[in-house]
Structure 1
């Protein structure tokens, strides 16, 4: 059997195992292990051993549990609730203000946790009931929460970018900084769209009633402002020393985790239940990602040994005669297709062993491509028929929101994401300026 057929067989077997409901790391790791033993015999055991050693000695991996713990402490202690209450009071008087505030909530939740599912959970449980109670349009608010929650995999500390950094062997710090400007641009585009649409049609996003506004005193407004900005302060305490070069990324993650822990104590919300839930969830998520990275490294090692990357490069550039930009566009389209039935981590570990070396061989920047991949994942999350966020919203939304409402809500936001993706492709500096500035100091 040729090496090309071996690679195709490995992909087919892996997709088959995933279709049976197997965990991502189990499917990838099993296929890699079987291929290694069949190709190189007992000597193949060195591949997973080397991958495990590489993982355990990768110092930036320590940031993963730190940031996840920080996010869960802030979420479980209900500090995120204060954040939404602040947006509710301060943004409520303007048309669509609560929807705009929800986008702000999602950005800050992303900065606390780095997982899109966390933003979806907080948005669906805190923001959605309030928006519906105040007669916001169902399609508008479900689209806002789905689109806003997808920012979790782009705005630092993105857990997905940690995974990409390990597979692509790129600095995590540079990848996180590369996601800041595109993430804020996308959030700003969402806000502009909501503001314009609610201005043209105020019934989509009614303002708070005068009676409700009068019930909130100025003192209460200022108290909520302080409470709501606490997560932003934690993020600043964590990131300012890192951006200025005073601390390493790992040290900054430890500062963030400790700041969140102390904030929960200061607010008298660090109960035994909050602490136990945060530690358990941190351990579960961290272990899951470590197993996925380990499986992906082993799988990638097999592909390196097969020379599959070189074969695909020759197929695209020599046999098909495609330009580098055409290849990049086809890659992004394949992510959208895969995203209809896989989550972001599964997509990355399946195609990264092929795509990352190919992108490098074509002369593109791997930091820039990491942002492209992440934005495309956001689009795939919202793309019917099987977008990841569509089903998360269906599971968390109240009964009055139908699947038809959910599917009908995402069109404008997908169009905005595609526009943002095109901007980043045309102007790579949007992603590369901040890491170049910080690391070039």
Structure 2
């Protein structure tokens, strides 16, 4: 069977398995093994164990469960509540300020947890009911939280950037820095649209809502300031981790281990989480997510090995490379491909599966791999708030079941367009992603 036909059968089989509810890791592994055995014989099974565990043996992957444990310690504590209350203190009075404070809280919490679902859940549980109570439209209340949660995979420290760095053998520290400015840019774009949406809807500026909000903020100033004090140690830890990475003081794995220990210690000390039950929840959530991601990475490595063994990867890469088109047209095609992949697959799976294919093409077209990492990540962010998977959409639906899924989707769609605008700005001004890494690391 020729590589093109094999590739078509593999992709169709993969999507059929995922459509009937097969976990992504099992779908990847099952399709890959079946294709290898059918095309090259039963002897290919002897390479399964070596390929499956060989890639996971990389020391760099130690950073993933450590950053996840760090995020679980933050997400399972009342840090999100305190962060929300602190920003509401400063921004709650201005028109549309509550929605803006929610996006700001999502951006900061994303840096603390590194997880989009955790960010949406932690801030959404507080922000959505409060915004609806103050007269914000359901679409704005749900959309700004769903979109703000996507910042978790871009603003450092980011698990997806670690996976990209290991898959492409690029500097993880430099990747983290490259994601900082674009992450802030997206947060600003989200805030601008939120103000416009609130103004168009006119729901936020009813006199009774503003008066009630002002009185509530005034009555709780002392409590909000105390909440800010409780959040500051976590922000200091994240700042210290980034400094250690950028300054060459520690490797990503070492920094992640120290960050996980410090955040866990702070959660215990600051919020008095001495009981076994909350600690059990933290470790349970961290273990569950770590195993899921590592299993996807291992099975995606089997998938990549199968594509390479059947010459599918080489055929696709050669066909794309032979296209005599402008490099920006090529980048447009790649963006559409990543966007569609993000609709169906989680970010980690997309990165591990596509990075080996796309990286030679990106380099041959003279695109910067760190700039491309940001472009790729924003494409995957769009997938988090668009059907059919749209993980953040379903998290918001779980938080606010009385809001129709259609309203959540329509409220999130403008933020997806903001991300598309962000990609265009990065294409026009690559320095948004590259200026800070070049300044700090040369």
Between 333-342 and 116-125, the greater mean CA deviation after superposition: 333-342
- Matching of residue 109 in structure 1 with residue 109 in structure 2: yes
> 3-state SS of the aligned residue for 1:22?
coil
Structure 1 residue aligned with 2:419: 417
2:278 corresponds, among 253, 274, 278, to 274
- Which runs of structure 2 are paired with 1:149-188 in the superposition (5 Å)? 149-188=149-188
| Alpha-carbon offset, residue 439 of structure 1 | 3.4
Judged with a 3 Å threshold, the aligned counterparts in structure 2 of structure 1 residues 39 and 384 are, in CA distance, closer, same or farther, namely: closer
Kindly indicate whether the alpha-carbon contact (under 8 Å) linking 1:107 and 1:187 is maintained by their aligned counterparts in 2.
yes
- Which runs of structure 2 are paired with 1:55-74 in the superposition (5 Å)? 55-74=55-74
> 3-state SS of the aligned residue for 1:204?
coil
Judged with a 3 Å threshold, the aligned counterparts in structure 2 of structure 1 residues 246 and 163 are, in CA distance, closer, same or farther, namely: closer
Structure 1 residue aligned with 2:386: 383
Distance between the aligned counterparts of 2:42 and 2:405, measured in 1?
A: 51
2:328 corresponds, among 325, 336, 341, to 325
Distance between the aligned counterparts of 1:3 and 1:398, measured in 2?
A: 46
Structure 2 residue aligned with 1:397: 400
Deviation per residue, 1:244-280 (Å, 9 max, x gap)? 2222222211221122122122221242111111111
Distance between the aligned counterparts of 2:127 and 2:168, measured in 1?
A: 36
1:336 corresponds, among 334, 339, 345, to 339
Structure 1 residue aligned with 2:304: 300
Kindly indicate whether the alpha-carbon contact (under 8 Å) linking 2:137 and 2:201 is maintained by their aligned counterparts in 1.
no
Distance between the aligned counterparts of 1:408 and 1:289, measured in 2?
A: 30
Distance between the aligned counterparts of 2:103 and 2:20, measured in 1?
A: 36
Kindly indicate whether the alpha-carbon contact (under 8 Å) linking 2:317 and 2:357 is maintained by their aligned counterparts in 1.
no
Judged with a 3 Å threshold, the aligned counterparts in structure 2 of structure 1 residues 360 and 295 are, in CA distance, closer, same or farther, namely: farther
Distance between the aligned counterparts of 1:189 and 1:132, measured in 2?
A: 22
| Alpha-carbon offset, residue 350 of structure 1 | 4.6
Judged with a 3 Å threshold, the aligned counterparts in structure 2 of structure 1 residues 297 and 171 are, in CA distance, closer, same or farther, namely: farther
Structure 2 residue aligned with 1:285: 289
Kindly indicate whether the alpha-carbon contact (under 8 Å) linking 1:340 and 1:387 is maintained by their aligned counterparts in 2.
yes
- Matching of residue 434 in structure 1 with residue 436 in structure 2: yes
> 3-state SS of the aligned residue for 1:156?
coil
Judged with a 3 Å threshold, the aligned counterparts in structure 2 of structure 1 residues 411 and 42 are, in CA distance, closer, same or farther, namely: closer
Kindly indicate whether the alpha-carbon contact (under 8 Å) linking 2:161 and 2:373 is maintained by their aligned counterparts in 1.
yes
| Alpha-carbon offset, residue 349 of structure 1 | 4.4
Deviation per residue, 1:14-44 (Å, 9 max, x gap)? 1121112111111111122222233333553
Kindly indicate whether the alpha-carbon contact (under 8 Å) linking 2:343 and 2:387 is maintained by their aligned counterparts in 1.
yes
| Alpha-carbon offset, residue 413 of structure 1 | 1.4
- TM-score of the two chains, using structure 2 as the length reference: 0.91
Between 330-339 and 23-32, the greater mean CA deviation after superposition: 330-339
Distance between the aligned counterparts of 1:44 and 1:363, measured in 2?
A: 37
Judged with a 3 Å threshold, the aligned counterparts in structure 2 of structure 1 residues 39 and 386 are, in CA distance, closer, same or farther, namely: closer
Judged with a 3 Å threshold, the aligned counterparts in structure 2 of structure 1 residues 38 and 9 are, in CA distance, closer, same or farther, namely: same
| Alpha-carbon offset, residue 298 of structure 1 | 1.7
Deviation per residue, 1:294-323 (Å, 9 max, x gap)? 1111211222233333322343343x5333
Kindly indicate whether the alpha-carbon contact (under 8 Å) linking 2:147 and 2:415 is maintained by their aligned counterparts in 1.
yes
- Matching of residue 363 in structure 1 with residue 351 in structure 2: no
Kindly indicate whether the alpha-carbon contact (under 8 Å) linking 1:264 and 1:270 is maintained by their aligned counterparts in 2.
no
Distance between the aligned counterparts of 2:119 and 2:413, measured in 1?
A: 20
Distance between the aligned counterparts of 1:39 and 1:429, measured in 2?
A: 46
Distance between the aligned counterparts of 2:51 and 2:75, measured in 1?
A: 34
Distance between the aligned counterparts of 2:57 and 2:441, measured in 1?
A: 23
> 3-state SS of the aligned residue for 1:10?
helix
> 3-state SS of the aligned residue for 1:94?
coil
- Matching of residue 92 in structure 1 with residue 95 in structure 2: no
Kindly indicate whether the alpha-carbon contact (under 8 Å) linking 2:154 and 2:183 is maintained by their aligned counterparts in 1.
yes
Structure 2 residue aligned with 1:79: 79
Judged with a 3 Å threshold, the aligned counterparts in structure 2 of structure 1 residues 432 and 391 are, in CA distance, closer, same or farther, namely: same
Distance between the aligned counterparts of 2:389 and 2:291, measured in 1?
A: 27
> 3-state SS of the aligned residue for 2:319?
helix
- TM-score of the two chains, using structure 1 as the length reference: 0.91
Kindly indicate whether the alpha-carbon contact (under 8 Å) linking 1:332 and 1:373 is maintained by their aligned counterparts in 2.
yes
Between 38-47 and 182-191, the greater mean CA deviation after superposition: 38-47
| Alpha-carbon offset, residue 203 of structure 1 | 3.2
Aligned residues: 437
Kindly indicate whether the alpha-carbon contact (under 8 Å) linking 2:134 and 2:204 is maintained by their aligned counterparts in 1.
no
Structure 1 residue aligned with 2:39: 39
Deviation per residue, 1:135-163 (Å, 9 max, x gap)? 22222111111110111111122222233
Structure 2 residue aligned with 1:24: 24
Kindly indicate whether the alpha-carbon contact (under 8 Å) linking 1:308 and 1:354 is maintained by their aligned counterparts in 2.
no
Kindly indicate whether the alpha-carbon contact (under 8 Å) linking 1:88 and 1:101 is maintained by their aligned counterparts in 2.
yes
